[in-house]
Structure 1
Amino acid sequence: MCGIVGLFLKGKRLESELGALVAAMLETMSERGPDSAGFAVFGEGEDGRVKLTLRLVDVDADSVLADAAGVLGCGVCGQMRETHLVLSIPAEEEVKARFWAEGRPDLVLVGVGNRMELYKEVGAPADVARRFGLQAMSGTHAIGHTRMATESAVTTAGAHPFSTGKDQCLVHNGSLSNHNDLRRRLRRGGMRFETENDSEVAAAYLTSRMAGGLSLGQALEAGLGELDGFYTFVCGTAGGFAVLRDPISCKPAVMAETDDYVAFGSEYRALVPLPDIESARVFEPEPAHVYAWERH
Structure 2
Amino acid sequence: MCGIAGLFLKNHSLETELGRLTAGMLSVLTDRGPDSAGFAIYGAGNPGHLKFTLRASAGFDFFALPAKFDLSCTEHDDHAVISFPAEREAEIREVLARHPEISIVSTGARMELFKGVGLPDDVSKRFGLHKMSGSHAIGHTRMATESAVTTQGAHPFSTGTDQCLVHNGSLSNHNAVRRVLAREGIKFDTQNDTEVAAGFVAYQLREGKKLDEALHAALENLDGFYTFVVGTETGFGVLRDPVACKPAVMAETADYVAFGSEYRALADLPGIENAHIFEPEPAKVYFWERAA
Instruction: Give the shorter-chain TM-score range.
Output: over 0.9
3-state secondary structure, aligned to 2:190: coil
Map 1:1-296 to 2 at 5 A: 1-57=1-57, 59-67=60-68, 69=69, 74=70, 76-296=71-291
Aligned residue type for 2:85:
P
Residues in 1 aligned to 2:95 and 2:172: alpha-carbon distance in whole angstroms: 35
Contact 1:78 1:85 in 2 (8 A): yes
After superposition, the C-alpha distances for 1:11-61 in whole angstroms (9 at most, x for unaligned) are 212111000000000000100000000000000101121110000125211
TM-score by length of 2: 0.98
Residues in 1 aligned to 2:63 and 2:31: alpha-carbon distance in whole angstroms: 37
Residues in 2 aligned to 1:99 and 1:274: alpha-carbon distance in whole angstroms: 43
Contact 1:162 1:169 in 2 (8 A): yes
TM-score by length of 1: 0.96
Q: Alpha carbons of 1:189 and 1:103: their partners in 2 closer, same or farther (altered >3 Å)?
A: farther
- Greater CA drift, 96-105 or 77-86: 96-105
Shift of 1:118: 0.3
Residues in 2 aligned to 1:32 and 1:160: alpha-carbon distance in whole angstroms: 14
After superposition, the C-alpha distances for 1:121-141 in whole angstroms (9 at most, x for unaligned) are 001000000110000101000
Contact 2:32 2:141 in 1 (8 A): yes
Aligned residue type for 2:80:
L
3-state secondary structure, aligned to 1:249: coil
Contact 2:165 2:198 in 1 (8 A): yes
Residues in 1 aligned to 2:73 and 2:213: alpha-carbon distance in whole angstroms: 35
- Greater CA drift, 32-41 or 101-110: 101-110
3-state secondary structure, aligned to 1:287: coil
Aligned residue type for 2:185:
G
3-state secondary structure, aligned to 2:270: coil
Shift of 1:87: 0.6
Residues in 2 aligned to 1:295 and 1:99: alpha-carbon distance in whole angstroms: 34
Residues in 1 aligned to 2:55 and 2:241: alpha-carbon distance in whole angstroms: 32
Aligned residue type for 1:40:
A
Aligned residue type for 1:220:
L
Contact 1:121 1:159 in 2 (8 A): yes
3-state secondary structure, aligned to 1:14: helix
Residues in 2 aligned to 1:12 and 1:37: alpha-carbon distance in whole angstroms: 26
CA RMSD after TM alignment: 0.9
Aligned residue type for 2:50:
V
Structure 2: runs of 5+ lacking an equivalent: none
How many residues align? The count is 290
Residues in 2 aligned to 1:42 and 1:12: alpha-carbon distance in whole angstroms: 13
3-state secondary structure, aligned to 1:154: coil
Residues in 2 aligned to 1:172 and 1:102: alpha-carbon distance in whole angstroms: 29
Residues in 1 aligned to 2:10 and 2:63: alpha-carbon distance in whole angstroms: 38
Residues in 2 aligned to 1:174 and 1:101: alpha-carbon distance in whole angstroms: 34
